[in-house]
Structure 1
Amino acid sequence: MSSQDNSMDLSLSSFFGSRSSQGSPVSSDSLSEGLQDTWTERNTVLKCNKYMLLNKVACDVTFLVGANSTPIKAHKYVLASRSPVFFAMFLGPAKESSNEITVPDIEDCVFEKFLRYLYFEDDKILDGDNVLHVLYAAKKYSIKGLESKCGEFLIHNLNTENVCVILESSHTFGNSSMEEKCVQFILRNGDGVLQSPSFPDLCRKCVTTIISSKNLEAEEAVVFKAAVKWAGAVCCKKCINPSDKNIRKVLADLLFKIRFPIMQLSFFADKVASGNILTQKEKVVLYEYLCRSDTSDSNLELPFSVEYRKKKSFLICKRFNSLSASCEWENVGRENSIEFSCTRAIWLHGILMYATVTMATCQNSVVVRNEQGEVLYNSDEKANMRKEVVSSKSYNLFFGERLKIQPLKFYKISVKSVGPKSYYGGGGKHFVSCGPFRFEFRDSGTGKNILSSTAEQPGNVKETNQSSGQIPGIIFSSWL
């Protein structure tokens, strides 16, 4: 054998080590033989990297990882080629002089998963338990591809139990896109998220974003309890007594994001007014507001928002069994009216209406009268009505204020609509039950079913009544 061949054997021996898998010395011949047997299995760069990492071949750096400083070996070349942070660490002007790097803030099991991605892009490293920790490692070492994969995993696995943890992590890392997705999930699933064990762990900014949103789909009682629980957790972290006085102090301006005026009176009396989070003056003015039949008095100064949140605060009583197959209802300014009563006291917030075939908006004028014929609401005078699309065939009309409806008394709702033809309902029900609320509907007696033709009112214009027509639903909430 030539001196050149001897040199090559020594080089291979020093590069791959001098011990077999059983720990006994091996010759260069047997090692070369082993390489020849397995080389075809490493026919791509990723497969080669995988072999080198998993078998710890020719490693030139050791990381002391986690609380126990667990040694994990790796290769500077691979790490530097994958991460600008590692490149600076090993090849930059202020490169590490030692081949041992301490990483106390990442656990060994997470760091090993992290390396698997760097070496051969293992896409099966993520699970619900480690994804946030892997995301931290990806951000620390600026691995954008892995950050993206963690983000995708989190988005596809959001639930009411983990979304607060992910939101807080996204907020901390400055991941605005992920943060926004988490917030939108929370707003859509408010009741469940606000009652989850992780909600009290959110920072003040995240809690403020959630509680102040009008799109939060949650009962106000749930919002109040969640805010108090969060403030109590803050007190405990600061080692102070979670008394009502301290809870109010922690809540500060957050307290005024809670919609106390839209709470049910019974909850307010039993759970809010019985404590000392609110001042005596605030309790009195809220009692006065909650007990009034007319809440539009501008002289009543309320420091709290009276704006209802999206969807969750309302119930809808629907009175028709069927829907027309086509848009044939003439909206020519004719008055559509229906009378109703309820067995319990309720707040009336608006009505359900049928849409036009093109979803073009009709001009609607709404009047609500009590049993004595007194006007309780007139949209032409208030100009505060708003529309919310429900489906391609219906929409909600909110009055912008709530009307107190006394039990077992009849009220009349009248609507004049001008615009394209719309759908209409049929098979109207005389009695409708919505949980404990039982409604009765009857004709308002405004005229005949078929009107004679005039210059202002065309012939063959149908009238809304108990059996068919418009105003298919009443939007309400419990007064008590």
Structure 2
Amino acid sequence: MAKQEKIIISKELKKDTLQDENWCATVLSSLLKDPSTHDVTFKTSDGGSVSAHRVIVAAGSPVFHAMLYGNMKESSQKEIKLPTVDTSMFKILLIFMYSGKVEINSDNCLDILEAAYFFNIAALETKSADFIAGMINVENCCSIATVANAKQFNTLLEKCLEFIYINCDKIIENSSFYSLPSEIVLAICQSSSLHVDEIKLFLALVKWQKNQERPISKSGSEKLFNNIRYPMMSVDDLLEKVRPTKMADPVLYTLALEYHHKPNTYDGPPNQLVPRKYLEVAPKKCFVATNITPNTIASSSDGASVTITKLGSSNWDGLCVLQVYPKEQFPVHFTFQIKQTSSDLSGIQLVVRSCLFSSLTADNFRGGVDGSVGHKVEGTIAIGNNNITTTIGGKTLNTTKQSDGIYLCVYLYYQNNSVIVTIN
């Protein structure tokens, strides 16, 4: 045969890596269907018999690898007993190990997760946990979290906790909350990422403890209730709702009351002053400064409105400290607006500022935005390498990183003796 001349496709050498993503799965799946190539048989808990390839099963699960190639007796056996899994579930595991595919539904998802966890098939555990997480809602979240905690399904438990943190205000109103184990309830109380008012969390915790079949030990109860952040409650709530229960630690309770009277002298546990991250800025969490003079803060608790009093000839007509954000909670996002005033005041201006936590003086204010009734003000506070950056109404201002945190402040310029403003 005559030698054929080599055909030149291109004068320049071109390279690429071609891959059929389904090739391996297709080939391995065909091997699973061909018993003549199998070299090991598994006897399942319901008396079934399933054969497969020792090397492929070992590669798909560290547990099977130790069993088939380690120092266990199964390493020399061709027939292996599996007393913890039935035939249908083991076939689901095999199909996943051979092809990376799994037929999952709301009926078998927990069983698949349990089997994947037991045999340490990480990819299948993640996929089944993600599937279950997609079905989590307020009604079933606590039940799923309880199962995940009992069986140590950590991936699923983390997803449940994340859902609980964000929807905590609704979760604690559902009866399933009272069946949660103490470990999960403690995690909730310790979290700084809750969307819930502190007083509601406290009352839910009181009701949870009363609903337990076995009495909670004194130390266990103290551990739970000491993670409630009492200074974040109003004085009225402390006096009318917390004190009657006798569940709050007397020292923490007294410190919380003193904090509302003299916030700058607070010397209690620092974590008590850390706001829950998802807690929106609300009037009941305001510290209202009235009759102030420059370089000083006179704070008092308020409810649905903020009373700001003019200071004679001072440039500061009034100051309302809305919230304190410690550095550990950055980044934070805030939004609020003036809903109404005590009268139709066309000349009123709302000026939003951020200033250093360590000192509140006129010199610390940098930038801000003007507002009016109905005007919404939004902003963020974030920490960088060299400073704390506050963005309010699209304007960015920087402060040093030396402070412990940032005050978000509102104050008014209006020449009148007194004006009442409702802030949402």
- TM-score when scaled to structure 1? 0.49
> Given residue 251 of structure 1, which amino acid in structure 2 is its aligned partner?
S
- Of the three residues 117, 123, 133, the one matched with 2:96 is 117
The structure-2 alpha-carbon separation of the partners of 1:221 and 1:473, relative to structure 1 and needing over 3 Å to count, comes to closer
Q: Is the 8 A contact 2:141 2:160 kept in 1?
A: yes
Distance 2:152 2:133 in 1: 16
| Deviations 1:290-320 (CA, angstroms, capped at 9, x unpaired) | 9x7x353748979993544345464369xxx
**How far did 1:248 drift?**
4.5
Q: 2:44 aligns with which of 47, 64, 70?
A: 64
Matched, 1:45 2:27: yes
Q: Indicate conservation of the 8 Å contact 2:58/2:68, yes or no.
A: yes
- Residue 123 of structure 2 aligns with which residue? 145
Compared with structure 1, are the counterparts of its residues 46 and 230 closer, same or farther at alpha carbon in structure 2 (3 Å cutoff)?
farther
The question of 1:73 aligning with 2:53 is answered: no
Q: CA 1:260 to 1:141, structure 2 compared with 1: closer, same or farther past 3 Å?
A: same
Matches for 1:290-305 after TM superposition, within 5 Å: 294-296=261-263, 298=265, 305=272
Residue equivalent to 2:79: 99
Partner of 1:275: 245
> How many residue pairs get matched?
323
- Quote the offset at 1:218 in angstroms: 0.8
Distance in 1 between residues matched to 2:313 and 2:89, nearest whole Å: 72
SS in 2 for 1:274: helix
Q: What is the letter of the counterpart of residue 255 of structure 1?
A: F
- Greater RCO, CA 8 A, separation 6+: 1
SS in 1 for 2:244: coil
**How far apart, CA to CA, are the structure 2 residues paired with 1:284 and 1:153?**
43
2:43 is matched by which residue type in structure 1? F
Find the residue that maps to 1:214 and give its secondary structure: coil
- Deviation digits for residues 315-339 of structure 1, max 9, x if unmatched? 369xxxxxxxxxxxxxxxxxxxxxx
Q: Which amino acid aligns with 1:305?
A: Q
Cα distance in 1, alignment partners of residues 363 and 374 from structure 2? 20
Give the Cα–Cα distance (whole angstroms) in 2 for the partners of residues 384 and 316 of structure 1.
13
Contact 1:217 1:310 in 2 (8 A): yes
Give the equivalent residue in structure 2 for 1:457: none
**Is the alpha carbon distance of 1:107 and 1:64 closer, same or farther for their aligned partners in structure 2, counting shifts above 3 Å?**
closer
CA shift at 1:257, angstroms? 0.8
1:254 aligned residue: 224
- Matching residue's letter, 1:216: L
Q: CA 1:442/1:379 → structure 2, altered by over 3 Å: closer, same or farther?
A: closer
Kept in 2, the 8 Å contact 1:168–1:202? The answer is no
Alignment match, 1:474: 423
Q: Which residue of 1 aligns with 2:282?
A: 315
Which amino acid in structure 2 is aligned with residue 257 of structure 1? Answer: N
> What is the Cα deviation at residue 101 of structure 1?
1.0
Q: Residues 404-440 of structure 1, C-alpha deviation per residue, up to 9 Å, x if partnerless?
A: xxxxxxxxxx9888656x65445669xxxxxxxxxxx
Q: What residue is the counterpart of 1:390 in the other structure?
A: 334
Cα distance change, pair 267–72 in 1 and its aligned pair in 2 (3 A):
farther
Letter of the 2:128 partner, please give it. Answer: C
**Separation in structure 2 between the aligned mates of residue 419 and residue 271 of structure 1, nearest angstrom:** 40
Instruction: Letter of the 2:97 partner, please give it.
Output: L
Q: Normalising by the residue count of structure 2, what TM-score does the alignment of the two structures yield?
A: 0.54
Give how far 1:80 is off.
3.6
Q: Aligned AA for 2:272?
A: S
C-alpha separation in 2, matches of 1:247 and 1:371:
53
Matches of 2:253 and 2:126, distance apart in 1: 52
Alpha-carbon spacing, 1:120–1:229, altered in 2? closer, same or farther (3 Å) = farther
Instruction: State the SS of the aligned residue for 1:137.
Output: helix
% identity of equivalent residues: 21
Give runs of aligned pairs for residues 75-474 of structure 1, distance below 5 A. 75-77=52-54, 78-96=56-74, 97=77, 99-104=79-84, 106=85, 109-123=88-102, 125-164=103-142, 165-166=144-145, 169=148, 173=152, 175=154, 182-196=160-174, 199-200=177-178, 204-232=182-210, 235-236=212-213, 240=214, 242=215, 246=216, 248-263=218-233, 272-278=242-248, 281=250, 285=254, 294-296=261-263, 298=265, 305-310=272-277, 312=279, 314-315=281-282, 346=303, 369=309, 388-390=332-334, 419=366, 423-426=369-372, 444-445=414-415, 474=423
Superposed CA deviations along residues 200-221 of structure 1, whole A, max 9, x for unmatched, are 5655554333212333111223
The answer for the alignment partner of 2:401 in structure 1 is none
SS in 2 for 1:142: coil
Paired with 1:396 and 1:50, the residues of 2 have a C-alpha distance of 67
Q: CA deviation at 1:144?
A: 3.1
State the 1:73 CA deviation: 2.5
CA distance in structure 1 between the aligned counterparts of 2:179 and 2:88, rounded to whole angstroms: 25
Q: Which amino acid aligns with 1:296?
A: P
> Mind listing any 5+ residue stretches in structure 2 that lack a counterpart?
1-24, 285-300, 338-350, 376-410
Q: What's the secondary structure of 2:93's corresponding residue?
A: helix
Gaps of 5+ in 1: 1-42, 318-343, 351-367, 402-413, 430-440, 447-465, 467-471, 476-480
C-alpha distance in 2, partners of 1:306/1:395? 22
Q: 1:63 corresponds to which letter in structure 2? A: K
Distance 1:273 1:128, change over 3 A: farther
1:47 & 1:283 partners in 2: Cα distance?
A: 63
Equivalent-residue separation in structure 2 for 1:398 and 1:206 (angstroms): 37
SS state at 1:253 partner: helix
Most deviating of 264-273 and 125-134: 264-273
- Is contact 1:195-1:222 (8 Å) kept? no
Shift of 1:369: 4.0
Change over 3 Å in CA distance of 1:397–1:223 after alignment to 2: farther
Aligned-residue CA RMSD (Å): 5.5
- Mark the structure with the bigger radius of gyration: 1
